[in-house]
Amino acid sequence: MQGIITEPKYILDELTASQEKGNVIGIWASPLGEGLFMCAVENIFDDDVEHDMVIILKDKDLNGVPLQAHVLFLQEIDKVFPFKTLYNDPSVSDSTLRYH
User: Please, what CATH class does the domain formed by 8-85 belong to?
Assistant: mainly beta
Q: Domain ranges for the chain, please list them.
A: 8-85
pLDDT in tens, 11-34: 999 999 999 999 999 999 999 999
Other residues' Cβ atoms within 10 Å of the Cβ of residue 84: 10
Question: β-strands 52-57, 41-47: how paired?
Answer: antiparallel
List residues bridging with 47 in a β-sheet.
52
pLDDT of residue 51: 83
Rounded CA separation 44/26 (Å): 16
Query: pTM (2 decimals)?
Result: 0.85
pLDDT in tens, 40-67: 999 999 988 878 999 999 999 999 999 9
pLDDT tier for residue 97 given thresholds of 50, 70 and 90:
low
pLDDT of residue 89: 74
